[in-house]
Amino acid sequence: MSARSKPALLLEFDDGDALLRAVRSMPDASRRGLSAYTPMPVEGLVEALGTPPSRRIPFLFLLGGLVGGLGTYLIEYYAAVIDYPINVGGRPLHSWPAFLPPSIEMVLMGAALFGVIGMLVMDGLPRFHHPLFDVPRFTRVTVDGFFLCVPCGGDASERVAVERFASEHGACGIYPVQPAP
């Protein structure tokens, strides 16, 4: 989140519509680094924030599936053909139809494992403390609080501009957020 890298202001709004109107009224260049926190989904908020869909997660699922499936197939091939070949009734040692069911199951397991672990790493989890937790009103985010975190850097003029924007768009609270050490 942007509050980790530089100081920010946390703006509190009465409802999701006010939050959405405030985000939509921001210039596109100012929307970089914004983070919104709501107790329920707000229709159109993700699009208004301009958050692009992640392209890394599907790639991790594909990579995990390939590693799991090919790895299992190669282990089975090595065990049945190279390491411990057993001739059963004249059947071929490389009986690929017998290798497929475990390989397919490992495709699914590998994809799920890579995807979940990759998602957690990219989200920076587990994070035991976040700078937003130092704002007392932020505990309301799980009940009825609608918050917008706006990075404002160390520049006083940027902070004044964000405070002016908040007062013009009906923010009911403005709270400073210090970056994590």
pLDDT tens across 2-44, in order? 444 678 899 999 999 999 999 999 876 667 788 999 999 999 9
> How many whole angstroms separate alpha carbon 94 and alpha carbon 97?
9
Question: How buried is 154 (Cβ within 10 angstroms: 0-12 exposed, 13-18 middle, 19+ buried)?
Answer: exposed
Ranges of the chain whose pLDDT falls below 70: 1-5, 28-30, 181
The domain that contains 32 carries what CATH number?
Answer: 3.30.70
Q: Point out which residues pair with 174 in neighbouring strands.
A: 11
Among 128, 120, 167, which Cα is nearest to 9's?
Answer: 167
pTM: 0.72
Radius of gyration in angstroms for the set of CA atoms belonging to the chain, rounded to a whole number: 25
Co-location of 117 and 139 in the same domain? no
Co-location of 118 and 73 in the same domain? yes
Interaxial angle between packed helices 56-77 and 96-122, expressed in degrees from 0 to 180 and rounded to the nearest 10 = 150
Co-location of 116 and 99 in the same domain? yes
Among 84, 71, 13, which Cα is nearest to 45's?
Answer: 13
For residue 5, the model assigns a pLDDT of 62
Co-location of 66 and 97 in the same domain? yes
Co-location of 113 and 158 in the same domain? no
Among 102, 122, 142, the domain-final residue is: 122
Question: How buried is 75 (Cβ within 10 angstroms: 0-12 exposed, 13-18 middle, 19+ buried)?
Answer: middle
Handedness of CA 144, 136, 148, 122 (dihedral sign): negative
For residue 3, the model assigns a pLDDT of 40
Full residue range of the structural domain in which residue 152 is found: 2-52+131-177
For residue 30, the model assigns a pLDDT of 66
Co-location of 113 and 159 in the same domain? no
Strands in 1-156 per DSSP E: 8-13, 35-37, 146-151
Please count the structural domains in the chain. Answer: 2
For residue 181, the model assigns a pLDDT of 63
Among 101, 122, 143, the domain-final residue is: 122
Co-location of 151 and 111 in the same domain? no
For residue 143, the model assigns a pLDDT of 93
Co-location of 48 and 60 in the same domain? no
For residue 4, the model assigns a pLDDT of 46
Co-location of 61 and 115 in the same domain? yes
Among 129, 155, 113, which Cα is nearest to 1's?
Answer: 129
